[in-house]
Chains A and B, each alone.
Chain A
Amino acid sequence: MIQLRHVSKRFPDGYMALSNVDLTIDTGEMVFVTGHSGAGKSTLLKLIATIERPTSGSITINGHNIAQIKPAALPFLRRKIGFVFQDHKLLFDRTVFENVLLPLQISGFDRNTATSRIRAALDKVGLLSKENVLPITLSGGEQQRLCIARAVVHRPAILIADEPTGNLDSAYARDIMAMFFSFHQVGVTVLIATHDANLLEDNKHRVIALQQGKLQNDQRMA
């Protein structure tokens, strides 16, 4: 369970990205975060992923208050979360396989276990046949899928995606969304930030709307 209480985030330049947000996300829930750019979607996700720390308020993930945790303990929290970055953050001097390997190397997996997990993750996103190519040769949609494979390879309980369909055409976007639904179906808590209204048309999951850093609307679609 993820709980935010009176969470505010002010950046050093004085910009107030989030103010006084209260929010509870249950384990295994699938949640969309919408709003215009600059509404605070990314900040909200980064706070939950412990990439940013709140200026005030508390964020609790499975009982741990991550706003108060020691910096040295942060890496171990991050390993429980999968993050699909808006700008992918792929390493272009490493092959597709090695990109997915990174989180497992960090956790100290042995090569054999790692290899079978990586193959499984790449298979799930349809990149198994490209494991030895460099990411630069992949299309935008493939790069996005590689980023997803890297985010799920260590089997996190929470999967967070920032604009995962950002600049993909609608057919690709539907593909990607289908993947997130399948993760949700096996019990992963999924958080997706998007400004793409098309994605939400026939959506039956919870949608949180942010506006200028404030929680504007929180509803479950029928």
Chain B
Amino acid sequence: MISAWLNQHWYAFSLTIRRFLSAPITNLLSILVMGIAISLPAGIFALMGNLPTVSGQISISPQISLFLKQHATQDDIDLIRTKLEEDKLVASYQFVSKDQALYQLQLDNGLTEAVHNLAHNPLPDAFVVETQDVRVDIIDQLRADMQTWPAIEHAQFDSAWAKRLEALTNFGRMLVLVLLTLLSIAIIAVMFNTIRLQILTRQTEIEVSKLVGATDAFIRRPFLYFGALQGFAGGVTAWLIITFVLQILSDELRVIAGLYAMNFQLHAIGYGDTISLLLFTTWLGWLGARASVASHLWQIEPR
């Protein structure tokens, strides 16, 4: 029973390869079309995956600055330190004492003269907090919480950068989604039509197979295999395109980065994403073939 099943699948598979080889140019072209179509959203997705890498380099991860009251005591500072230690949303923090801040001010701005003329240090003690999460609304909430802590004069969140980054990634995500949806539909349509033509040119074969006792599943199988195989090949093509393009872009970016004394390169698609990509395109091809078979095969009934 199992060997019969295996034999039938082997037959379907060999028939698929045969059908593919019977029109190699046409089939290669439609694989190329699928590959290019899917490489667009997948490529943008891959570029977006590189964003955190880039942002890590130029440090735009969101920060909250906590300025303490002038009369804050060492106990207040210790209390805030513990609170920051316990907060899960805090990734890291740094304490900047008022003396340190003043010293820094002298160094950075060359205000030594002016600072010396001050009667007392006007700067407050401060904490610089980096957050775990990058979502603006969550960080804003955290900032509001911190504002209510004792001995805090002012909690400040420089949200402009974070907001820009978030808006940009949201836009990118939406773009990927829209492109992916549209191009997936296009791929399904292409596959639908390919299989429709195959069914039409193989009318006799289908009819004769039915006459000598082929089940619907038996007749469907080679077409579904064909769709899945083309989808898979399309996915591989897309992967090659993206990898190639990222390589080129990475070389160019390194030149630019070098001019700004930065050092980074674009990462290729990871294993997980590669497998997802191949599974997805295989599924798309199968789906198009399935739809086509469902809407055309019943029309061929032997008479």
A and B co-occur in one complex: yes
Tell whether, in the assembled complex, residue A106 and residue B209 are in contact, meaning their CB atoms are under 8 Å apart.
yes
Q: Which residues of A contact B207 (CB under 8 A)?
A: 89
Task: Tell whether, in the assembled complex, residue B213 and residue A76 are in contact, meaning their CB atoms are under 8 Å apart.
Answer: yes
Cβ < 8 Å to A, chain B residues 189-241: 204-205, 207-216, 218
Q: Can you name the residue of chain A whose Cβ is closest to the Cβ of B302? A: A51
Contacts of A85 in B (CB 8 A): 211
Chain B binding surface SS class: helix
B4 at the interface (CB under 8 A from A): yes
Residues of chain A within 8 A of B213, CB atoms compared: 75-79, 103, 106-107
**A-B pairs with beta carbons under 8 A, tally:** 58
- Knowing A51-B302, A75-B210, the reply to whether A105 touches B215 (Cβ < 8 A) is no
- Residues of A at the B interface (CB closer than 8 Å) are 51-52, 72, 75-79, 83, 85, 89-91, 102-103, 105-111, 150
Minimal beta-carbon separation of A201 from chain B (angstroms): 32
Closest 3 interchain pairs by CB?
A: A108-B4, A79-B213, A78-B213
Q: A91-B208, A102-B208 are in contact. Are A110 and B3 (CB under 8 A)?
A: yes
User: By the criterion CB–CB under 8 Å, are A75 and B7 in contact?
Assistant: no
Of A52, A102, A111, the residue contacting B212 (CB under 8 A) is A102
Complexed CA–CA distance, A72 and B303 (Å): 17
A23 to B287: give the CA distance in the assembly, Å. Answer: 48
Cβ contacts B83-124/A at 8 Å (1 or 0 each): 000000000000000000000000000000000000000000
Q: Is the CB of B211 within 8 A of A89?
A: yes
Expressed in whole angstroms, the Cα–Cα distance for A52 and B211 within the complex equals 11
10 contacts across the A-B interface (CB closer than 8 A): A75-B214, A75-B215, A75-B218, A76-B215, A83-B211, A85-B211, A89-B204, A89-B211, A105-B7, A108-B8
B11 at the interface (CB under 8 A from A): yes
Residues of B within 8 A of A (CB): 3-8, 11, 204-205, 207-216, 218, 302-303
Q: Collect the chain A residues with CB atoms within 8 Å of residue B216's CB.
A: 72
Give the distance to chain A from B57, nearest Cβ to Cβ, in Å: 60
Task: Take A72-B215, A108-B8 as given contacts and tell me if A102 and B209 are in contact as well, using a CB distance cutoff of 8 Å.
Answer: yes
Name the CB-closest residue of A to B15: A105
Q: Given A89-B208, A106-B212, A108-B7, 19 more contacts at CB 8 Å?
A: A51-B302, A52-B303, A75-B210, A75-B214, A75-B215, A76-B215, A78-B211, A83-B211, A85-B211, A89-B207, A102-B212, A103-B212, A103-B213, A105-B7, A106-B218, A107-B213, A108-B4, A108-B6, A110-B7
Shortest CB-to-CB span from A147 to chain B, Å, is: 10
A52 to chain B: which residues have CB within 8 Å? 303
Chain B contacts for A105, CB-based, 8 A: 7-8, 11
- B2 nearest CB neighbor, chain A only: A108
State the Cβ distance, B123 to closest chain A Cβ, in Å: 84
Among A51, A76, A107, A111, the residue within 8 A (CB) of B211 is: A51
**Chain B neighbourhood of A90, CB < 8 A:** 208
For A83, the closest partner residue in chain B by CB is B211
